[in-house]
Amino acid sequence: MGKADVIDGKAIAQDIRNEIKEEVAKLKEHKGKESPVPGLAVVLVGARKDSETYVRNKRKNCEEVGYESFQTDLPEEVSQEDLLKVVADYNADERVHGVLVQLPLPKHINEREVLDAVSLDKDVDGFHPHNIGSLALRGRSPKFVSCTPKGVMELLKRTGVKISGKRAAVIGRSNIVGMPVALLLQAEDATVTVIHSRTPEPEAICKEADILVAAIGRAEFVPGSWIKPGAVVIDVGMNDVEDASKKRGYRLVGDVKYAEASETASAITPVPGGVGPMTIAMLLQNTLESAKKSFGCS
Ligand SMILES: NC(=O)C1=CN([C@@H]2O[C@H](COP(=O)(O)OP(=O)(O)OC[C@H]3O[C@@H](n4cnc5c(N)ncnc54)[C@H](OP(=O)(O)O)[C@@H]3O)[C@@H](O)[C@H]2O)C=CC1
Ligand SMILES: Nc1nc(=O)c2c([nH]1)NC[C@@H]1CN(c3ccc(C(=O)N[C@@H](CCC(=O)O)C(=O)O)cc3)C=[N+]21
């Protein structure tokens, strides 16, 4: 059995950013002197090391493609009211085309109310219930598809993976990853089984899957023996594992045992360098779409 192809999310995300850069340059020509620039706002509550990495990568990426980037850091104890005010201000700010509230939020915050408050036209995260709900309805499409699920689909498309008529298994059913990924795969005519913590015999389901997406949040949960020979494996998981030899004191691993799985799969995403960079590229893409609409040039 040969080694699986590595699906290079980092390189694919770079291609997408290059495409975006060209579009931003065109936008500037289109509007002449006004030089309209897409703007993305991120609201971060409290300090978590994983959030900080994500927010830092996002800022770097915004700079690279020439977006204006806005950020509000709020203390862990912020009130619901003050958080909603920050969202309302970004909703009203015409330099801002996308508003993202970093999840998870502290326990005392009503997450539902905060996500509902993001303007539908600026919901580049695709977390508004209107946008998520539209994914489940045939014949409708959301204004914005959530970035991680959209990134998973884009990786499959850009690697030439056939989806229609295939069996897919998605491990995880969260609102932000597992569930929307399953809906998107189904919309592309895959036959999808969703596995969650109460699913009996997940192994048997996985062994039948031509496409396996893991979004569990448990380090190396899926062993190589669960993979159907020739399957395409997309590992969304991002788990910290202590590692004193690393500068940060930990390393990132996925939800799949990578070395084992790559003996059986035909293609697999690494962690890091797989889905993560794609999430940010999709965020930039959604923000560009939003900006183009607001400039009246889409
Ligand atoms: N690369 C990226 O851009 C992103 C990566 N992530 C990563 O993806 C992973 C998943 O994130 P998220 O969806 O937010 O996580 P959640 O914790 O919200 O959801 C995890 C899902 O996995 C299921 N699950 C947990 N344990 C098992 C088990 N033993 N067997 C089967 N299913 C199980 C849960 O089932 P149940 O519903 O029954 O509880 C749940 O549906 C995390 O590692 C996260 O860091 C997340 C977002 C973006
Ligand atoms: N409202 C909201 N939207 C999100 O999209 C969202 C969120 N909240 N909360 C947290 C999760 C997590 N997430 C990541 C995206 C990219 C990387 C990323 O860039 N990863 C790189 C580098 C990771 C590293 O080196 O640490 C990689 O996988 O190669 C990581 C994590 C988005 N999320």
Rounded distance from Cα 257 to ligand 1 centre (Å): 16
Which regions of 9-122 does DSSP assign to beta strands (E)? 39-45, 68-74, 98-101
How much is the pLDDT for 28?
80
Rounded distance from Cα 85 to ligand 1 centre (Å): 30
Tell me the ligand closest to 213's alpha carbon: 1
Residue pair 239/254 in contact (Cβ under 8 Å)? The answer is: yes
Mean pLDDT of the chain: 95
**What is the best residue among 54, 101, 127, 284 to mutate for testing ligand 2's pocket, by most ligand atoms within 8 Å of CB?**
54
> What's the ipTM?
0.98
Helix segments in 159-252, DSSP class H: 178-187, 202-206
What pLDDT, in 10s, does the model give residues 21-77?
A: 999 998 887 765 566 899 999 999 998 777 888 888 999 999 999 999 999 999 999
User: Ligand 2 — pocket residues by CB below 6 A?
Assistant: 53-54, 57, 100-103, 125, 147-148, 238, 252, 271-273, 276-277, 279-280
What pLDDT, in 10s, does the model give residues 75-122?
A: 999 999 999 999 999 999 999 999 999 999 999 999 999 999 999 999
In terms of Cα–Cα distance, which of 185, 176, 284, 201 is closest to 234?
185
- The token duo for 261 is 């799985």
pLDDT confidence band for 204 (50 / 70 / 90): very high
Position 215 pLDDT exceeds 60: yes
Positions annotated as catalytic residues are 58, 102, 125
Atom of ligand 1 nearest to the CA of 275: 1
Rounded distance from Cα 213 to ligand 1 centre (Å): 11
0.90 exceeded by the pTM?
Answer: yes
Mention every residue, 6+ apart, whose C-beta is less than 8 A from residue 218. 237, 239, 255
**What CATH number has the domain spanning 147-276?**
3.40.50.720
Amino acid (one-letter) located at 202? P
Tell me the ligand closest to 146's alpha carbon: 2
How much is the pLDDT for 32?
56
Kindly report, as residue ranges, where domains of CATH 3.40.50.720 are found in the chain: 147-276
Is domain 33-121 classified as CATH 3.40.50.10860?
yes
Kindly report, as residue ranges, where domains of CATH 3.40.50.10860 are found in the chain: 33-121
Tell me the ligand closest to 286's alpha carbon: 2
Give the integer Cα–Cα distance in Å for 291 and 298: 9
